[in-house]
């Protein structure tokens, strides 16, 4: 696998768009956004997302990770915390190290951005993702919130000390 790339206002918006839409189509239960919603986004919105967020795409649509500052849904605003907002690995590349490499790229970005903690939310029942996050050092914080698109599903916060 080639190293994950980070878009930063460059022409990577179309790769981000294709990979993100592929993720939403493949695993709609793993995201609060929907394919139908995001496929309607205009090009300018995708370009703004690449410029604003830390967007990591592995290879050609092999996987994606989106990260941001601490203004996420699970955590209080904290200048030393960054959030792994979402992550997905294409079915044919799971168990091949792509997920670990994406988390590593996000962790490096977060640390270089001044963070000492990286947090994420994992859906109840997504045991494969939880095991991946535990393998790379994330630990449960004990905080839980409700999925906005499915009130019956909880989201558990995990954190990684950088």
CATH of residue 87's domain is 3.40.630.30
Q: For the chain, what is the domain count?
A: 1
For every one of its 162 residues, what pLDDT tens digit does the chain have, with 9 covering 90 and above? 455 555 544 567 888 899 999 999 998 888 888 999 999 999 999 888 877 778 888 877 788 888 887 554 445 667 889 999 889 999 988 888 899 999 998 999 899 989 999 999 998 888 999 999 999 999 999 998 876 666 567 889 999 999
Secondary structure of the chain as H, E, C letters: CCCCEEECCCCCHHHHHHHHHHHHHHCHHHCCCCHHHHCCCCHHHHHHHHHHCEEEEECCCCEEEEEECCCCCCCCCCCCEEEEEEEEECHHHCCCCHHHHHHHHHHHHHHHCCCCEEEEEEECCCHHHHHHHHHCCCEEEEEEEEECCEEEEEEEEEEEEC
For residue 44, give its domain range.
5-161
């Amino acid at each position: 696998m080639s190293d994950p790339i980070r878009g930063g206002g460059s022409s990577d918006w179309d790769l981000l768009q294709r990979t993100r839409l592929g993720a939403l189509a493949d695993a709609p239960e793993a995201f609060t956004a929907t394919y139908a919603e995001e496929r309607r986004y205009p090009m300018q919105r995708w370009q703004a997302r690449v410029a604003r967020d830390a967007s990591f795409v592995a290879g050609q649509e092999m996987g994606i990770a989106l990260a941001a500052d601490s203004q996420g849904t699970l955590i209080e605003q904290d200048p030393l915390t960054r959030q792994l907002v979402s992550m997905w690995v294409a079915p044919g590349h799971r168990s091949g190290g792509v997920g670990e490499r994406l988390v590593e790229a996000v962790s490096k970005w977060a640390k270089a951005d001044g963070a000492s903690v990286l947090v994420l939310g994992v859906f109840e029942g997504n045991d494969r993702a939880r095991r991946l996050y535990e393998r790379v050092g994330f630990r449960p914080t004990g905080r839980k919130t409700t999925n906005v698109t499915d009130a019956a599903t909880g989201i558990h916060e995990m954190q990684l000390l950088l």
